[in-house]
Structure 1
Amino acid sequence: MSNTGATHHAADVKTLHDMGYAQELSRRMGHFSNFAISFSIICILSGGINSLGQGTSGAGGAALGIGWIVGGLAALMFALGMAQLSSAFPTAGGLYHWSSILGGRFWGWLTAWLNLIGLITVLAAINVGTFNFFVGSFGSFFGIELGYWSQLIFLIVMTGIQAIINHLGIQVTTKLTDLSGYLILGGAVLLTVALLAYAPSHDFSRLWTFTNYSGAAGGNVWPQTSSIVLIFFLGLLLPIYTLTGYDASAHTSEETVGAAKKVPTAIIHSVVWAALFAWLFSSAFVLAIPDMEEAAKQGWNVFFYVMDSTIPAKLKYFLYAIILLAQFICGLATVTSASRMTFAFARDDGLPGSKYLRTVNRKHRTPVHAIWTSAALAVGFTAFAGAYSVAVSVTSIALYLSYTMPIAAGLFAYGNSWTKMGPWDMGPAFRVIAVFCIGIAAVVFYVGVQPPNDLALKVVGVIGLLTAIAWFGIENRRFKGPPIGDRIAARAAEIAAAEAAVGKA
Structure 2
Amino acid sequence: MLDHVQSNNIEEVSDTINDSDRRLLELGYKPEFKREMSLLAVLGISFCAIGILTGSSAAFQAGLFSGGPLGLFWGWNICSLFMLLIALSQAEICSAFPTMGGLYFWVAKLKPDLPVLAYCTGWIYAIAMTLTGTSGNLTVALFIASLTEVGSGRTLTRVEITAIAWGINILSGVINSIGTKAIGWMSSFNIWWTLGGTFVLVVTLLVKAPVKNSADFVFTDLENFTGWSSKGFVVLLGFLQAVYSLEGSETAGQVAEEAIRAEFLAPMAVIGSIVGSWIIGLAYMLALLFSVQSVSSIQATAFAIPIAQLYFDAVGKHLTLMCLSVVCLAQFMAAVTAFTASSRLYYALARDNAFPAKKAFMALNRYQAPYVGVWLSVFVGCVISCAYIGSVIAFQAILSSAAVAVMLSYLQPIAIRVFWPSSLEVRGPFHLGKWSWIINAISFGFASFICLLFILPTAFPVTAQNMNYAVVSVGGITAGVIVNWFLWGRFHYRGPVATTSNEKPRISPLDR
**TM-score computed with the length of structure 2 as normaliser:** 0.88
Q: Percent identity?
A: 24
Alignment map for 1:230-245 (pairs within 5 Å): 230-245=233-248
Offset at residue 394 of structure 1 (A): 0.8
Corresponding residue of 1:324: 328
Q: 2:398 touches 2:473 (CA, 8 Å); kept in 1?
A: no
Corresponding residue of 2:501: 492
SS at structure 2 position matched to 1:428: helix
- Which string of whole-angstrom CA distances, capped at 9 and with x for unpartnered residues, describes residues 287-310 of structure 1? 111134444444975412221112
Change in CA separation of 1:205 and 1:82 when aligned onto 2, cut-off 3 Å: same
Q: 1:79 touches 1:246 (CA, 8 Å); kept in 2?
A: yes
Change in CA separation of 1:448 and 1:157 when aligned onto 2, cut-off 3 Å: same
Offset at residue 9 of structure 1 (A): 6.1
Give the whole-Å Cα distance in 2 for the aligned partners of 1:71 and 1:279.
Answer: 12
Select which of 282, 301, 310 maps to 1:306: 310
* Count, aligned residues: 481
Say whether residues 1:382 and 2:385 are aligned partners.
yes
Aligned AA (2:381)? A
Select which of 456, 469, 476 maps to 2:483: 469
CA RMSD across the alignment:
2.4
Say whether residues 1:408 and 2:415 are aligned partners.
yes
Offset at residue 429 of structure 1 (A): 1.3
Give the whole-Å Cα distance in 1 for the aligned partners of 2:59 and 2:44.
Answer: 22
Give the whole-Å Cα distance in 1 for the aligned partners of 2:338 and 2:350.
Answer: 18
Alignment map for 1:58-77 (pairs within 5 Å): 58-77=66-85
Q: 1:288 touches 1:310 (CA, 8 Å); kept in 2?
A: yes
Corresponding residue of 1:190: 200
Say whether residues 1:43 and 2:54 are aligned partners.
no
Say whether residues 1:90 and 2:98 are aligned partners.
yes
Say whether residues 1:257 and 2:260 are aligned partners.
yes
Change in CA separation of 1:328 and 1:435 when aligned onto 2, cut-off 3 Å: same
Give the whole-Å Cα distance in 2 for the aligned partners of 1:262 and 1:402.
Answer: 22
Corresponding residue of 1:346: 350
Aligned AA (2:307)? F
Between stretches 289-298 and 139-148, larger displacement belongs to: 139-148
Say whether residues 1:446 and 2:452 are aligned partners.
yes
Give the whole-Å Cα distance in 1 for the aligned partners of 2:15 and 2:63.
Answer: 48
Aligned AA (2:319)? L
Corresponding residue of 2:433: 427
Q: 1:411 touches 1:430 (CA, 8 Å); kept in 2?
A: no
Aligned AA (2:417)? G
Between stretches 339-348 and 435-444, larger displacement belongs to: 435-444
Give the whole-Å Cα distance in 1 for the aligned partners of 2:223 and 2:183.
Answer: 43
Give the whole-Å Cα distance in 1 for the aligned partners of 2:185 and 2:428.
Answer: 29
Give the whole-Å Cα distance in 1 for the aligned partners of 2:132 and 2:117.
Answer: 22
Alignment map for 1:367-378 (pairs within 5 Å): 367-378=370-381
Structure 1: gaps of 5 or more residues: 1-5, 215-221
Corresponding residue of 1:52: 60
Select which of 104, 109, 128 maps to 1:101: 109
Say whether residues 1:455 and 2:469 are aligned partners.
yes
Change in CA separation of 1:480 and 1:352 when aligned onto 2, cut-off 3 Å: same
Q: 1:83 touches 1:263 (CA, 8 Å); kept in 2?
A: yes
Give the whole-Å Cα distance in 2 for the aligned partners of 1:443 and 1:266.
Answer: 25
Corresponding residue of 1:217: none
Change in CA separation of 1:307 and 1:212 when aligned onto 2, cut-off 3 Å: closer
Corresponding residue of 1:208: 219
Q: 2:137 touches 2:332 (CA, 8 Å); kept in 1?
A: yes
Offset at residue 207 of structure 1 (A): 2.5
Between stretches 337-346 and 80-89, larger displacement belongs to: 337-346
SS at structure 1 position matched to 2:356: coil
Corresponding residue of 1:358: 362
Give the whole-Å Cα distance in 2 for the aligned partners of 1:493 and 1:10.
Answer: 20
Q: 2:111 touches 2:423 (CA, 8 Å); kept in 1?
A: no
Aligned AA (1:259)? A
Change in CA separation of 1:144 and 1:81 when aligned onto 2, cut-off 3 Å: farther
Q: 1:93 touches 1:251 (CA, 8 Å); kept in 2?
A: yes
Offset at residue 134 of structure 1 (A): 1.3
Q: 2:66 touches 2:224 (CA, 8 Å); kept in 1?
A: yes
SS at structure 2 position matched to 1:46: helix
Between stretches 279-288 and 351-360, larger displacement belongs to: 351-360
- Which string of whole-angstrom CA distances, capped at 9 and with x for unpartnered residues, describes residues 41-76 of structure 1? 111121110111101111111122112112211211
Give the whole-Å Cα distance in 2 for the aligned partners of 1:474 and 1:335.
Answer: 25
Select which of 16, 27, 51 maps to 1:19: 27
Offset at residue 391 of structure 1 (A): 4.8
SS at structure 1 position matched to 2:68: coil
SS at structure 2 position matched to 1:45: helix
Offset at residue 160 of structure 1 (A): 0.6
Aligned AA (2:274)? V
Q: 2:54 touches 2:330 (CA, 8 Å); kept in 1?
A: yes
Change in CA separation of 1:368 and 1:453 when aligned onto 2, cut-off 3 Å: farther
